[in-house]
Structure 1
Amino acid sequence: MVYGLDPHVVRYVMRKVRKENGYRQEDIADATMSYGTISNIERGVGNVDVKTVTKYLTKLGLNEATLKNLVKKELERMEELSFQLQLIEAMLDNNKLVEHAEQLLKSIAIERYHPLAPFYTYLEGRCFHAKKAYTKAEKHYKLAIRLNNQYKLCSRDNIVSICYNELSICHYVQNNMSKALHYVEKGLDAYSERNGGRDVKHPMLCNKALYLLNMTRFEAAKQIVDELWAKRFHIRSSLYTLLNIYKYRAILLRRMEKYSEAIEICKEGINIGICNKIQNRYLDIMNILGSVYLLQKQCDKAENCFQMVLNYDYERNHPRSHIDALIYLSIIYSHEKNWPKAEQHIDSALQIARRATRNQLSKALIVAGNIYAAQHKFAEAIPCYQEAEQAALQANLPKRQYTALLQMAKCFDSMKAETEWKVTIKKLLNLQQKLNLQSEEEIYEV
């Protein structure tokens, strides 16, 4: 700290003044002040005494009065810049304004050693993330972390934790759960209550629970969800986080076959979502409620839930929820041997899924194959399973790949196609041996 001023801003002013005067660090170094000492002063590392810092300021032509004046001006600029960046972040939170946010961000030019550089770089990552350019997004998130650590900058609102969380999301959407879990754990390790700002910790814990669920590490996920559930009404983060807690708790209760509790949790979560008009979250929970009824073989109640999702999302603004509802409905109609309706709904699901994610596409294709196989239309079922297997492979979903191969083998067996059956069984066994897989926990039929 120099003259009682913000050390982050002081270091920025020193570096800025030096660069504006056209000096390199080595140009100012002398026998009494080495290049390394100057570097330490500007980066805020090492134990450099006040006397040495004062000497360096003198070399830059700065005294106490001029330094205070420059710091005051920079603080005013930073306050305005911080406000602009927060508005850009709000635009990125609204996916419809991504291009506008990106243009505004490009119109702002700041140095990489600026105290707000990590936040700015994080927003650059968010722009790439929104465009699904995950490699570029990851590069910027990592750069933001590096800048913060390199220049010992003030961790605005736990920006390091936020970047690690975004890195985890990048890998989650690419179905790389181990890396997603790795980064969210680093984000939790970097989190500090002292840095204040918004609630970052609870959304990260929610994401960790999600990744563990996807990795079928149910006991570890349950511990986190139980912890979040106990303090759900004291969480300062968004309603999205609260509804995710409801969602994951319902999923775990469903798995434990505690159907009555799962139903109550779903209904409570749906009510919160409806009251606060958070459609995409309560549609997810509505699908979970329907799936619980489905497991209880209460097909009428399940059908009502899934149909309600389609009715609420008639404009198809939430494709993931829409696809899930269509898949579940096709499973119900298949169970009832209402083949025209089953095929109609799975065709609609496939149509949307081909424009969405390979994750849902692979599941929809398996259900489509099941519908044809149940009618002994094996020649039509096999291409569905084959495409599902490839989609699952590309999406890094080995358990779903296993399911597709298993269903395909059954078809070849029914057709007495021994050569194709042997090839499929060999692939199936290799995959099972490689990954030590059991069957995945998904609902494909009643």
Structure 2
Amino acid sequence: MKINLKDDIIRYVLRRRRKKELNKSTRDIEDFDISKGSVSNIEKKGNVKPDTLEIYLKKIGLTEDEVIKRAKALEEEMKEVYYQLETIETIIEDGDLKAAKEQLERFQFEEFYPLTPNYFFLQGLICSEEKDIEKAQNKFKQAIKVCKDYALKPRDNIIAACYAELAACSHLQHDLQKAIKYADQGLEAYDETKNKKGIKYKILGNKTMYLLKSSNTDQASRLLDKVWPEVEKLDHGYEDYPVLNLYKFRSTILRDQGHYGEALQCCNKGQKLARRYRSSSKSHYLDFIILSGSIFLLQKEFTKAFERFQLALDSDRDFKSPRRHMDVHTYFGILFTAKKEWPKATMHVEEALKIGKERPDAFRLAKALIVRGNICYSQKQFSEAIPYYQEAASLAERHGYKQRQYTALLKLADCFDNLDEKEKLRDCTETMYRLQKWTQDKKRG
């Protein structure tokens, strides 16, 4: 037999001939010579004996040569369709959803068409951009289901990409554990030999972020340690931000571990890479400026830290990256608190809180609230600090940011202790105990 039934295009030709051209069901094909199960195996799994396939071909009125000829023509057609679908993905990334929808509407694929998963994926991306998260999830799951139902083997990493987007949807829904699970499924589905290679680094970067936000810092560190030799050898021919995220989180972890020299070195390398993509990824370029400032801040090099933070603001005077402005003003609050310049500290953190409430970002907002409480606490204004810590703890709890919650509760407990509020202190310490126990259980697990 010349026909390779493991080829998605071959099986598509066969199924389309039966369903669309002959309008026959599997029951119409089956008889004493060929069972319904054998028809399904041919069209789905491609696992039958040569004589069974020969019977099937007679039933649908095609020779092997005709099937191969059709498959070759279809393969050429699919190359152009794939090119167009990739271009539509770029249109979505550029934010022109109306144009992307108009382009997608031109295509009418059967469910078993080999590029249908890519079609559903793009629909999911559009829904994500429109903030219709539930519909987006359904589209990504539909793409995965189609592959399973018809035993499709996409020639790119579209399935890994679907899992990456499902993880991102779960993150937006504040379910970090599910986000991590989907990220793992994406890494498992990833195939080094296929197109969309950059999706691996997107998933790795996002998984690191999910781990950090869910207070699994040790796991995040181990993950980056494992992949770092590979990352450093990359030629950086992948799309920009997946690799940049890895450098950002690596720098962050090194900084938090007190390895300031290594953190700064990693940060500087990331910034050099980000400079190449500044036109399309300005926010990541700003991340490295801010991150380097935070490293200097921890080293108490206040002048260098101030200059980096101010540089970040000046680099985005048109306010295209508001969340980075929020980061800077929060860090300014920390810096001026350390210098006991309370009015300046308060002014900057209030600006951070304003941005955070206009453009909700619970992770950043919880931090800004803690810093605002610290300004009061540092001046022994314990009663004034309490509402900020309480709001931060509540916000962090709702979104699963356990380390932020613990930090806020620790400061809150200190305030209650200073005010001799024994009952409230006890409530805080009980919650902190449960959080600490959860952390220890995670480490052991």
Q: What one-letter code is carried by the residue in structure 2 that aligns with 1:124?
A: Q
Q: 1:156 to 1:322 in 2, by over 3 A?
A: farther
Question: Matched residue of 1:394: which SS?
Answer: helix
Q: Is 1:165 matched with 2:164?
A: yes
Q: What one-letter code is carried by the residue in structure 2 that aligns with 1:321?
A: R
The Cα of 1:72 is off from its aligned counterpart by 4.0
Q: Is 1:110 matched with 2:109?
A: yes
Q: Is 1:17 matched with 2:17?
A: yes
Partner of 2:245: 244
| Aligned residue pairs, count | 434
Q: Is 1:353 matched with 2:356?
A: yes
Q: 1:304 to 1:85 in 2, by over 3 A?
A: same
Contact 1:327 1:367 in 2 (8 A): yes
Q: 1:431, 1:106 → 2: CA distance?
A: 53
Partner of 1:442: none
Partner of 1:7: 7
Q: 1:434 to 1:328 in 2, by over 3 A?
A: closer
Residues 270-349 of structure 1: matches in 2 within 5 Å?
270-277=271-278, 278-349=281-352
Q: 1:218 to 1:35 in 2, by over 3 A?
A: same
TM-score (norm 1): 0.87
Q: 2:349, 2:137 → 1: CA distance?
A: 35
Residues 116-131 of structure 1: matches in 2 within 5 Å?
116-131=115-130
Q: 382, 385, 391: which is aligned to 1:381?
A: 385
Partner of 2:189: 190
Partner of 1:91: 91
The Cα of 1:5 is off from its aligned counterpart by 8.4
Contact 2:204 2:246 in 1 (8 A): no
The Cα of 1:295 is off from its aligned counterpart by 1.0
Q: Which moved more, 1:24-33 or 1:132-141?
A: 132-141
Q: What one-letter code is carried by the residue in structure 1 that aligns with 2:165?
A: E
The Cα of 1:293 is off from its aligned counterpart by 1.0
Q: What one-letter code is carried by the residue in structure 2 that aligns with 1:86?
A: E
The Cα of 1:71 is off from its aligned counterpart by 2.9
Q: 1:132 to 1:435 in 2, by over 3 A?
A: farther
* C-alpha RMSD of matched pairs (Å): 2.8
TM-score (norm 2): 0.87
Q: 1:384, 1:160 → 2: CA distance?
A: 43
The Cα of 1:115 is off from its aligned counterpart by 0.4
Q: What one-letter code is carried by the residue in structure 2 that aligns with 1:53?
A: L
The Cα of 1:184 is off from its aligned counterpart by 2.2
Q: 1:397 to 1:223 in 2, by over 3 A?
A: closer
The Cα of 1:125 is off from its aligned counterpart by 2.0
Q: 1:435 to 1:143 in 2, by over 3 A?
A: farther
Q: 2:438, 2:297 → 1: CA distance?
A: 25
The Cα of 1:218 is off from its aligned counterpart by 4.4
Q: 1:2 to 1:318 in 2, by over 3 A?
A: farther
Partner of 1:444: none
Note the alpha carbon deviations across 1:72-131, whole angstroms, 9 max, x for none.
44334322221111111112333x223432343244221211101111122222222223
Q: 1:213, 1:365 → 2: CA distance?
A: 19
Contact 2:394 2:405 in 1 (8 A): yes
The Cα of 1:48 is off from its aligned counterpart by 1.0
Q: 1:255 to 1:384 in 2, by over 3 A?
A: closer
Q: What one-letter code is carried by the residue in structure 2 that aligns with 1:393?
A: E
Note the alpha carbon deviations across 1:141-183, whole angstroms, 9 max, x for none.
2222222122121322122222222223333444433333322
Q: 1:129 to 1:437 in 2, by over 3 A?
A: same
For structure 1, which runs of at least 5 residues remain unmatched after alignment? 440-446
Q: 1:363 to 1:114 in 2, by over 3 A?
A: same
Q: 1:431, 1:138 → 2: CA distance?
A: 35
Contact 1:2 1:10 in 2 (8 A): no
Q: 1:49 to 1:102 in 2, by over 3 A?
A: same
Contact 1:402 1:428 in 2 (8 A): no
Q: 2:273, 2:85 → 1: CA distance?
A: 31
Note the alpha carbon deviations across 1:347-374, whole angstroms, 9 max, x for none.
2111211123112112112212222333
Q: Is 1:401 matched with 2:400?
A: no
Question: Matched residue of 2:126: which SS?
Answer: helix
Q: 1:380 to 1:179 in 2, by over 3 A?
A: same
Q: Which moved more, 1:291-300 or 1:16-25?
A: 16-25
Contact 1:156 1:197 in 2 (8 A): no
Note the alpha carbon deviations across 1:404-435, whole angstroms, 9 max, x for none.
2333333344445x3xx524631541353255
Q: 2:102, 2:429 → 1: CA distance?
A: 49
Residues 169-184 of structure 1: matches in 2 within 5 Å?
169-184=168-183
